[in-house]
Amino acid sequence: MTQSLIQQYYTYNVLAEWRRLVHDPYHRLELDTTLHFLEQHLPPQGLVLDAGGGPGRYTVELAQRGYDVVLLDFTPANLDFARRRVARLGLKRRVQGFVQGSIVDLSQFADGTFDAVICTGGPLSHVLDPLDREQAVGELVRVAKQGAPLFVSVMSRLSVLVVVLQISQTELGLPHFRQLLETGDYFGGYGFTTCHFFLPEELRGLFTRPDLDILEMAGLEGLASHQRKEIMQIARNPFRWQSWLDAHYATCTHPAVVGTSEHMLIICRKK
């Protein structure tokens, strides 16, 4: 039931999800900060798995940079959209496959297939069962080559509590708010689909494995989280915007910033 709800949500929001990361300067922080760390840690070339990649925003970005990519997603509507977009942009030779599937089961791929694995935008947050989350991480690691980097971003529990405070105060005191506070689990019904929101130590613990080195963690919106109005204002002034970006990249890996950012990214390397 949970999987069907998630698939239904993204089926009806394909275009919105495609546009989300480029909608405005605030939302671009998630995209640009992710790309910033990808550029730092990706190998110069190779085959990348975009696991849970939705309508293919990162697939397109990587293909345009010369990487070969396989896009995997749970929602057929996302894959159909991505096929059309890739064809329109002339990137078909770079995208090696559009595969329907779940990050919990990557059995269609052999061990050590990919030179890098990304799982960005929060697919792991849509895995509600803790054992399934462990299995998903194991699968992402299994299909990566030795020495390959892995990039996984999730949605933050501390940040979503701020969202409730800012725009959904009527939810305070309701049972699902207490559950969100105590467990990070959210079962839908208030504007979003089923989701698990992470604490930073929880995310780090999930990737603390003998076959991985954790390289760093980052808050993708950083100190700007929930400051949409202010970011929109300074983005109009190139000098101020660059000054803020400099501050953002200088602080986005600070543990306090990672935990309170809307999305947090963990970067690992397979031993």
Give the model confidence (pLDDT) of 184-216 as tens digits. Answer: 998 877 777 889 999 999 999 999 999 999 999
In a domain, 167, yes or no: no
In a domain, 132, yes or no: yes
Outline where DSSP puts E strands in the chain: 47-51, 68-73, 95-100, 116-119, 149-155, 185-186, 195-196, 212-219, 263-270
Q: What are φ and ψ of residue 159, in 5° steps? A: -65, -40
DSSP readout, 138-170?
A: HHHHHTBPTT-EEEEEEEBHHHHHHHHHHH-GG
Q: How does residue 13 score in pLDDT terms, banded at 50, 70 and 90?
A: confident
Residue bearing tokens 């929602």: 75
- For residue 104, the number of C-alpha atoms closer than 13 Å in the C-beta half-sphere is 11
Q: How does residue 1 score in pLDDT terms, banded at 50, 70 and 90?
A: low
Under a CB-based contact definition with an 8 Å cutoff, are residues 69 and 43 in contact? no
Distance of CA 108 to the CA centre of its chain: 22
Q: What total number of domains does the chain contain?
A: 1
In a domain, 116, yes or no: yes
Please list the alpha-helical segments (H only) found in 42-156: 57-64, 76-88, 130-142
pTM: 0.94
pLDDT per residue as tens digits for the range 229-239: 999 999 999 99
Residue 249: domain span: 2-156+193-270
Extract the tokens encoding 104: 């919990």
pLDDT per residue as tens digits for the range 152-186: 999 999 999 888 888 777 778 778 788 888 999 98
Q: What CATH number is attached to the domain comprising 224?
A: 3.40.50.150
pLDDT of 165? 84
